[in-house]
């Protein structure tokens, strides 16, 4: 018996990194997983699992595409038990005055506006089924500022408050809403990092290493499962102790 047997899950940003790890882990625990990404990379993820992963191409910043995705879930499964709202982007580091309006909007359209679209439509389906669990992917950056990434940090700070607010709004509807807030995670985002960057980054982490995507997936699994039935409105930091000091 898996911890998510008979559950239907949507994972956005499922093509790589944290989203891929969540997709594979949830499928291994018995859930049918609708693996959502913008570029088709989730097709390969579905080939790596022994569980049931259904790839679906969707741009979360496009409200029509998001609505269609949820309607497909409604038509095919009649319910949605779990949403892992994970899709997110960043851009090249720069100071605030160097951002173009288009760059700022690009980050917000995916990280915040897109998260809103997916939550709004998912909650409507969860209400039809009598409840569910939402796990948003935020960041340690929602608590601890760093220079040169103000749009990303602002979007994740907003995700934390969105998590808390919606948790209160739907607590009596059987819908729990929580967030995972990773620090530096070993994902493809660091593949092209300049020499010495990773060493400097790791030196700031008390545990002395980057977080593995599977470790974030384990936290997301706990929050999504019935084991966390009394937890809502929480923002869980997983950063190897970096924010402790």
Is 152 one of the annotated active-site residues of the chain? yes
| Alpha-carbon dihedral sign for residues 24, 30, 35, 41 | positive
| HEC per residue, 152-176 | HHHHHHHHHHHHHHHHHHCHHHCEE
Torsions phi, psi of 135, nearest 5?
-120, 110
Q: Is 195 exposed, middle or buried (0-12, 13-18, 19+ CB in 10 A)?
A: exposed
| Partners of 181 in the β-ladder | 237
Out of 56, 152, 170, 236, which one is annotated catalytic? Answer: 152
d(CA 120, CA 43): 26
List residues with catalytic annotation: 152
């Amino acid at each position: 018996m898996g911890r998510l047997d008979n559950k239907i899950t949507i994972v956005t940003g499922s093509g790589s990194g944290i989203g891929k790890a969540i997709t594979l882990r949830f499928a291994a625990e018995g859930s049918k997983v609708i693996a959502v990404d913008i570029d088709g990379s989730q097709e390969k993820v579905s080939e790596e699992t022994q569980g049931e992963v259904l790839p679906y191409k969707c741009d979360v910043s496009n409200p029509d595409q998001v609505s269609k995705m949820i309607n497909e879930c409604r038509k095919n499964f009649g319910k949605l038990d779990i949403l892992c709202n994970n899709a997110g982007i960043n851009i090249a580091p720069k100071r605030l005055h160097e951002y173009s309006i288009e760059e700022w909007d690009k980050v917000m359209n995916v990280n915040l506006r897109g998260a809103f679209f997916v939550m709004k439509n998912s909650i409507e389906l969860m209400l039809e089924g009598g409840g569910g669990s939402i796990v948003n992917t935020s960041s340690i950056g929602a608590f601890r500022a760093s220079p040169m990434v103000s749009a990303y940090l602002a979007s994740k700070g907003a995700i934390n408050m969105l998590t808390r607010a919606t948790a209160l709004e739907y607590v009596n509807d059987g819908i729990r809403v929580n967030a995972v807030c990773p620090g530096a995670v070993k994902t493809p985002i660091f593949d092209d990092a300049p020499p010495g960057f990773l060493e400097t980054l790791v030196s700031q982490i008390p545990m002395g290493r980057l977080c593995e995507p599977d470790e974030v997936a384990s936290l997301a699994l706990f929050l999504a499962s019935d084991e966390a039935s009394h937890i809502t409105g929480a923002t869980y930091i997983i950063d190897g102790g970096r924010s402790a000091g």
